[in-house]
Structure 1
Amino acid sequence: MGVPDKQYPMTVYRLILMTAAAVWGLGFVIGKGAIGTVGATWFTAIRFLGAGIVLVILLFPHLKRNFCRKTLKAGLIIGMATFVGFWTQFLGLGLTTPSKNAFLSACYCLTVPFIWWVVSRRRPPAKTLIAAAICTVGIGLVSLTEGFSISLGDSVSIASAFLYGGEIVIIGLVMRDNDVLTITVVQQFTAGILALLLALVTQPMPTMAQVATPEFIGAMTYVAMLSAAFGAVAQNTAQAHLSPSEAGLLCSLESVFCALFSVAFFGEVLTARMAVGFAFIFAAIVATQLGDKGGDAAAAGSSADGSTGGESTTSGKPAKRNRGRIAR
């Protein structure tokens, strides 16, 4: 799907991205129960396969025009990285609270520049190093117990931030002038099939009693149709018009929305120390985004969960589509 010819005020695209962030944030809370029912691997498989089916139905004419060997190869590569990143995050979500998982995994905004440093051999700016230090303090406040130990769920969530960062860099390297929506569909099916194969080998098949409940069906419908399918299209559309720095900042609001929804609906108790830790992590994320003019890290994918969109020019016309994460 190309960039629409009709241009809307920039506020519209900001609201679209903020809506997607809110959808993702609520998805953490809703997905917690579903993961507890079938496990992280089956949850990953159902989520991505469901999203892929929805997108095929919605985008079939577009896919017929744009599907080719090049988009298939790019989608397969990105899909494998997506599977590892999301599966790890869902493992962490099953072992810790939704808000802690969301904030800790959101640290991928900080890991991308360092991974890109290894790939490109270009040192991150000083602000990124400072932000990393601030984020480390925040992670400690959120995750460390009084005995200075860290839970398994928090450790897995932190690991997912590094895997997410690797996925974003891979997307920056693979996604050149390919069709983003076509690759998105291939990505969804690749991640879903990999998760399905792993689930069949390592976990028992979910029983009808587990999945044929209104709660589970409602949760999976939400995360597949809204978090994954809607999130992909909404972010892709918005980021075709917003700069990478602004898009990344707006996407990172998912962790804030998750904390709010988790306290309101999941019954999570937000301690003062956790609140301060969240504030440190969010401040670090904001610090990495402010002043970003779309350099190397941005080109590798500095946005939070979709393809990073090209910056608008002063004439108001959109530049090339961004190359960051395709969909949450």
Structure 2
Amino acid sequence: MWAWKLALTGCALLWGGSFVVIKGSLDAVPACSLMALRFLLASLLLGAVCWRRLRDSLDWSHLFAGGILGVLAGAAYAVQNVGLTYTTPGRNAFLTAIYCVLVPFVNWIVARRRPGAMVLLAAGLCVLGVGLISLGDDLVPSLGMGERLTLLSALLYAAQIVCVARFASAHDVMTLTVVQMTVTCAICWVFSLVLGEPQVDLASLDGSFWWSLAYMVVLASCACSAIQNAAQIVVPPAQASLLLSLESVFAVAASVLFYGERLTPRLVAGFALIFIAVLASELGPTLARRAPSRRA
């Protein structure tokens, strides 16, 4: 059990570091084109590794379910990374983490399951945290384009997570993932064309870009997805989500160490409130279920 928990923490570390890696790569390739290339290579690599499962499992049901997940994931990645061009990796990472709080509300709409009091409290803390991040030094709200786009991507991620919960149990997970990555690639290319992103001569890119792309494809996409799917067989969902939410903490640490982001007390307070909200939304339902048994 502890080995898998450490593996999930490693995934959070890799995903957190990817914010800084992507930020650097955006200087060479536009956001949506970069995501399209990333998921094209990831789908080809994962498809080659899992070709036997694809051969045995791929059908119209997998194409339909994976297509929905891919559209949501593709739109989320595209919007998030366009937002990253207008904000810092730390803000982008923490605002993206709001999806943990949004999931119960999206699930309320889809599955008619009302969120509990702890989730509502978490949402309030999250709003306060976003407010602290968005206030400028003159205390005037200044939620910029990057922050607004990142919040929209968090909503898209929440919708994608709810759909995964509805589709995953009835489908082969790896086949579903390959289809999702393929459609995600297509959606990102569409975003790239609609936004009129300039074409990039890949042959002219230097070695540092390709090392960054390898990190995103092999580690942040293929390896982390496989590890997460395997680990969650033995690690309860609430604990797994808590460990993966550390991604935002690692992202800020990487942004401070490698990107030169300056942490002010106001931003630290805002980040802390959002992180507390994430923890409350994940741990609250578990504690509430355990409370009656302790009283008994």
The letter of the residue matching 1:111 is: L
Counterpart pick for 1:234 among 227, 234, 239:
227
Which deviates the most, 277-286 or 194-203? 194-203
Identify the residue that residue 269 of structure 1 maps to in structure 2.
Answer: 262
Note closer, same or farther for the CA distance 1:119–1:261 as it changes in structure 2 (3 Å cut). same
1:110 and 2:104 equivalent? no
- The 8 Å contact of residues 51 and 188 in structure 1, kept in 2 or not, is answered as yes
Identify the residue that residue 2 of structure 2 maps to in structure 1.
Answer: 11
Runs of 4+ in 1 over 4 A off after TM superposition: none
The letter of the residue matching 1:204 is: P
Structure-2-length-normalised TM-score: 0.91
Identify the residue that residue 287 of structure 1 maps to in structure 2.
Answer: 280
CA distance in 1, matches of 2:25, 2:276: 31
CA distance in 1, matches of 2:242, 2:116: 18
The letter of the residue matching 1:90 is: N
The letter of the residue matching 2:28 is: T
Counterpart pick for 1:47 among 17, 38, 59:
38
CA distance in 1, matches of 2:84, 2:128: 21
Identify the residue that residue 35 of structure 1 maps to in structure 2.
Answer: 26
CA distance in 1, matches of 2:265, 2:284: 30
CA distance in 1, matches of 2:61, 2:200: 36
The letter of the residue matching 2:199 is: M
CA distance in 2, matches of 1:61, 1:173: 25
Q: Secondary structure at the match of 1:259?
A: helix
CA distance in 1, matches of 2:144, 2:73: 24
Q: CA offset at residue 111 of structure 1? A: 0.6
Identify the residue that residue 198 of structure 1 maps to in structure 2.
Answer: 191
Can you list the C-alpha shifts for 1:43-72, whole angstroms capped at 9, x where unaligned? 110111111111122222232232222222
Q: Secondary structure at the match of 1:36?
A: coil
Structure-1-length-normalised TM-score: 0.83
CA distance in 2, matches of 1:294, 1:220: 41
Bigger proportion of residues as helix: 2
Q: CA offset at residue 294 of structure 1? A: 12
Identify the residue that residue 311 of structure 1 maps to in structure 2.
Answer: none
Can you list the C-alpha shifts for 1:69-127, whole angstroms capped at 9, x where unaligned? 22222111111111111111111111110011000011000111111112233321000
CA distance in 2, matches of 1:264, 1:219: 17
Can you list the C-alpha shifts for 1:192-237, whole angstroms capped at 9, x where unaligned? 022123324522211246x521121111111111111111101111
* Bigger RCO of structures 1 and 2 (CA < 8 A, at least 6 apart): 2
Identify the residue that residue 291 of structure 2 maps to in structure 1.
Answer: none
- The 8 Å contact of residues 128 and 273 in structure 2, kept in 1 or not, is answered as yes
Q: Secondary structure at the match of 1:149?
A: coil
CA distance in 2, matches of 1:216, 1:183: 29
Q: Secondary structure at the match of 2:243?
A: helix
- The 8 Å contact of residues 245 and 293 in structure 1, kept in 2 or not, is answered as yes
Q: % of aligned pairs identical?
A: 38
Q: How does 1:1-328 map to 2 (within 5 A)?
A: 10-145=1-136, 146=138, 147-201=140-194, 202-208=196-202, 212-293=205-286
- The 8 Å contact of residues 245 and 294 in structure 1, kept in 2 or not, is answered as no
State how many pairs are aligned.
Answer: 285
The letter of the residue matching 1:156 is: L
Unaligned runs of 5+ in 1: 1-9, 296-328
